[in-house]
Structure 1
Amino acid sequence: MQWQGRRGSANVEDRRGMSGGGKLVGGGIGGIVVLVIALLFGGGDIGSILNNMTGTSTSSGSDTPYQGSQQEEELAQFVSVVLADTEDVWTQIFAEKGLKYEDPTLVLYNDSVQSACGTAGSSVGPFYCPGDHKLYIDLSFYDELKTKFQAPGDFAMAYVIAHEVGHHVQTLLGTTNMGAKQTNAQSVRTELQADYFAGVWAHHAQDMNVLEQGDLEEAITAASAVGDDTLQKKSQGYVVPESFTHGTSEQRMRWFKKGFDSGTIEGGDTFSAKNL
């Protein structure tokens, strides 16, 4: 993705190096596995999960200015540019519908972070909190995406940001009550619609001539890597379809690609779709 030298978003809140404080999620390896499966790229009933799990903070609590590695600082700039692109795209789409788009805030953090949905450890992965309209991400997830999930490339990370922004779009449109407790089946439809909206953004990013060769494939690879069936096979060796909360790899790839091909909000009604 061509991003160097382009506008970054003013809606980035950098909390790196700050202590998250409070009660943390992810108590031990078992908790991490559950959270990765249940919440990765999520945004459904995150509040109830965060508030019902405990752990131990690894933050130092230091308030000294944070300085990451060169790679981390470049990644921070990259996600800021991606966020800015999502602002431009969704502002235009909403305006065409006679609606006003409200920009979300992206929060960068290390180890743990406090949100309106509770206090989360980085093991949760990137998430969106509808209570404060903020996206939360620990940039170390980029390395995890490359190594653990075998989904390398900057546009794989762009897909992650666009998916979380997709949850924000859902909140603004009222397509789903993300603060309410959802069944697994409802959660799958919520997540697949966020994938669709990520594809819509990618469609417009292509029109902006910022995509490079291989970018679309990187996003599709990332969508496949975080399918419930793929994650469950890796973590426990078998799949339990009734426990799916995000959709299969095939579903996630297909709905992202559907949004990419369409470029419009129409066609993304996963809640009425008979066949996901």
Structure 2
Amino acid sequence: MIMFAGPKGPRLSLDEGSVFDIGSCVVDGIDLAPGRAIPDDGDPRIDHSLEGFLFTCGPDHIRHRERIAGTDASYPLHGSFSANPAHSIDLTVEGDDLVARAVVDVDLAPGGRAQLRRQWRLKGESGEVQLADTVVNVGDTAFPTFLMYHMNLGAKHFDADTSLEGAMLEGGGLAWAFGEGDGGIFCVPAGHGGWAELRLGPIAVIGGKQLKVRFRTDTLPHLQVWRNQKAPAHVLGIEPVSHRWVGRAELEAGGEFDILQPGESRDYGLAFSFV
């Protein structure tokens, strides 16, 4: 892990062994990542990724496994990114900002090859963390590209006053422990251009701060949120995502595949801060 911290904002660890995703996220001495309080989906790649504060799904598949058309094989859980190491890592200071760049190469499950060009920026003045990603088709065949960011938080840090707030939510907000029982999930439109914003808080153990998440809606037009309190899991996930929550066949039939031709790229972005 590479430590990534400045005078303001969270102290992060960046996982050079898996997509340069975020492992720990420490605010006021508290690591908000869920650690081992996560469900076991039977895939050690995803177990490792879920432990951290942010991991990246895609670019050939998101969500749970589905069969690759015309074969007996399946797309891996949450796509092929997880467990691919980063290279060309570069840490620099630009003005008051700390910047970390890396490249991740990935062989896609149905064939083809993609590259993630990733930049993290920690704003020195505000402490906001900004992520800019570019997914490039570096192979010889076209493929539909998908992306979802899992921002996972240990729900042990929440109480009855903690809630979700955002214009994309019905009524503008809801309790963090939405739904019934020990789990729940929903996926809603978040916009079609500009940036969407979601807030989670107050979080008492970090002084009542809120987590503020912003994300691009031109390429991430949906927001998925899930929670799992089925022991030993105790986690809440905030998930900006490129596609609505239906199967690949329905997306393809609806003309919702985003086809990336060889040499083409797509840009994605999000930012978060504790305010």
TM-score (norm 2): 0.29
Q: Which has the higher helix share?
A: 1
Q: Which has the higher strand share?
A: 2
TM-score (norm 1): 0.28
